[in-house]
Chain A
């Protein structure tokens, strides 16, 4: 039997890993196992164009590179367990699947609130992570007179609120325990500007309060907040973050505290034959410091797949990984109403020292986030020209020294 790499997870990270293994010269078999019934598709439009109805569901599928034409796709199949030392996976039907090398790309699933009140299908409670989620939510938001409460003012919550207002949803309220939307990644200056833009376009906010419980018997009628207020609601979207899909890896001695901990070459648990990519990977980025972090940005699976493929092939050949560690420059965007947030670098590391680089917060603006006097992130809010202005700082971000203390080992 020829050597086989199995890729766990059939989304952006899984697809790019398969393509990059071929590009790096792997001629053995590649099998990608994914529990969704679909070929890999693009998630960002789910909260924007797809929810708004301006992009058909069918337009979301990625077009795999020709080099990946002989990859075997096992869709609608969940991996339930792994024995990494024996190099065997267990699939949901009980079948065992042997591998020589493994790429972990199982991503995240939406976190849910644990609160009293109605739950389950038909209750009016939604999350947004998959195509199925987007379909279900869209069918509810197109009913006239709907009142929507979005729990969580992070990027997905803000996008859903913006799209819903655009759809003419009767009343849209965003709830968050923080005092401003997207406060952690943006810092106060931009978070305040974001709040005003949403409010001007008709989104209401209930900030500084958590959810105490949901009202209603089988269907949601309202959301009770920790400060005593009750918001009427027919539909609730829980946009309160996501959890890594790592249960299937338990029992192998990996650090799964928050995703799969990897080294700077994306190897998991010091194993030469297991790498992780995408939202599920918690990796150190020597561009900044030595703290491993998960990065939930669309740009990361593609970047990571390149590094992970060469790490894995070196490992399978008994060689050390290529010398250069994985040091991506994260980039993130979020489209809300008629404006775009664009971020380069890691702005949350520099929220203590924020300077306006271009424009002003009332209009189109670009700000720089600094740490120890060095630029660590650039964020713009406004029209495409503002994003283009932010992009002009990219070279500077790439050339900044690491935040590690002088002389510290990376």
Chain B
């Protein structure tokens, strides 16, 4: 699974961090950083993160299990 964040859309709301803390976090400057190839076991969390992004900036690439 590949996670792509459209950084033009992202406004560092951090909602994805609550949904998938293993994949997304805010750095010391409150900017979003993420793991781009997380383990497939985290798919549910990542889909949740994509859903709760107010800017809908998170895209998941790679076929569904």
Contact A394 B18 (CB under 8 A): yes
How far is B5's CA from A120's CA once the two chains are assembled, in angstroms?
42
Residues of chain A within 8 A of B29, CB atoms compared: 385
Could you mark each residue 2-37 of chain B with 1 if its beta carbon is under 8 Å from any beta carbon of chain A, else 0? 000000010111110110000000100111000000
How far is B59's CA from A16's CA once the two chains are assembled, in angstroms?
17
Residues of chain A within 8 A of B13, CB atoms compared: 333, 387
| A302 at the binding interface (Cβ < 8 Å) | yes
How far is B51's CA from A16's CA once the two chains are assembled, in angstroms?
9
Specify the main secondary structure of chain B where it touches its partner. Answer: loop
| A238 at the binding interface (Cβ < 8 Å) | no
Contact B14 A387 (CB under 8 A): yes
* Interface residue from B11, B30, B47 paired with A388 (Cβ < 8 Å): B30
Say whether, besides A65-B47, A394-B18, A384 and B52 are in contact (CB < 8 Å): no
How far is B52's CA from A151's CA once the two chains are assembled, in angstroms?
31
* Interface residue from A63, A331, A335, A388 paired with B56 (Cβ < 8 Å): A63
| A299 at the binding interface (Cβ < 8 Å) | yes
Specify the main secondary structure of chain A where it touches its partner. Answer: helix
Say whether, besides A42-B56, A388-B30, A66 and B14 are in contact (CB < 8 Å): no
How far is B27's CA from A345's CA once the two chains are assembled, in angstroms?
24
Contact A384 B15 (CB under 8 A): no
Residues of chain A within 8 A of B12, CB atoms compared: 384, 387-388
| A366 at the binding interface (Cβ < 8 Å) | no
22 A-B residue pairs with Cβ-Cβ distance under 8 Å, sorted by A, are A16-B51, A42-B54, A42-B56, A44-B54, A62-B56, A63-B56, A66-B64, A302-B51, A302-B52, A333-B13, A333-B54, A335-B11, A384-B12, A384-B31, A387-B12, A387-B13, A387-B14, A388-B26, A388-B30, A391-B14, A391-B18, A394-B18
Residues of chain A within 8 A of B51, CB atoms compared: 16, 65, 302
Residues of chain B within 8 A of A388, CB atoms compared: 12, 14, 26, 30
Residues of chain B within 8 A of A333, CB atoms compared: 13, 54
Contact A331 B15 (CB under 8 A): yes
Residues of chain B within 8 A of A331, CB atoms compared: 15
How far is B31's CA from A165's CA once the two chains are assembled, in angstroms?
27
Which residues of chain A from 313 to 355 have any CB-CB distance to chain B below 8 Å in the complex? Answer: 331, 333, 335
Which residues of chain A from 355 to 410 have any CB-CB distance to chain B below 8 Å in the complex? Answer: 383-385, 387-388, 391, 394
8 additional A-B residue pairs with CB within 8 Å, beyond A16-B51, A42-B56, A387-B14: A44-B54, A65-B47, A299-B52, A302-B51, A385-B29, A387-B12, A388-B26, A388-B30
Residues on B lying within 8 angstroms of A by beta carbon are: 9, 11-15, 17-18, 26, 29-31, 47, 51-52, 54-56, 59, 64
How far is B47's CA from A384's CA once the two chains are assembled, in angstroms?
24
| A26 at the binding interface (Cβ < 8 Å) | no
How far is B6's CA from A59's CA once the two chains are assembled, in angstroms?
12
Q: Which residue of A lies closest to B12 (CB)?
A: A384
- Minimum C-beta distance from A106 to chain B (A): 21
* Interface residue from B11, B18, B30, B54 paired with A385 (Cβ < 8 Å): B30
- Minimum C-beta distance from B44 to chain A (A): 9
- Minimum C-beta distance from B7 to chain A (A): 14
Could you mark each residue 16-60 of chain A with 1 if its beta carbon is under 8 Å from any beta carbon of chain B, else 0? 100000000000000000000000001011000000000000010
How far is B12's CA from A385's CA once the two chains are assembled, in angstroms?
9
Residues of chain A within 8 A of B52, CB atoms compared: 299, 302
Residue in A299, A302, A333, A384 with the greatest tally of chain B CB atoms within 10 Å:
A384
Could you mark each residue 275-309 of chain A with 1 if its beta carbon is under 8 Å from any beta carbon of chain B, else 0? 00000000000000000000000110010000000
Question: What 10 A-B pairs are tightest by C-beta distance, nearest first?
Answer: A384-B30, A388-B30, A385-B30, A384-B12, A388-B26, A66-B64, A391-B14, A302-B51, A42-B56, A44-B54
Q: Which residue of A lies closest to B18 (CB)?
A: A394
- Minimum C-beta distance from B21 to chain A (A): 11
Q: Which residue of B lies closest to A344 (CB)?
A: B18
Which residues of chain A from 176 to 199 have any CB-CB distance to chain B below 8 Å in the complex? Answer: none
Residue in B13, B18, B59 with the greatest tally of chain A CB atoms within 10 Å:
B13
Residues of chain B within 8 A of A66, CB atoms compared: 64
- Minimum C-beta distance from A278 to chain B (A): 14
How far is B29's CA from A388's CA once the two chains are assembled, in angstroms?
9
How far is B47's CA from A358's CA once the two chains are assembled, in angstroms?
33
Contact A298 B54 (CB under 8 A): yes
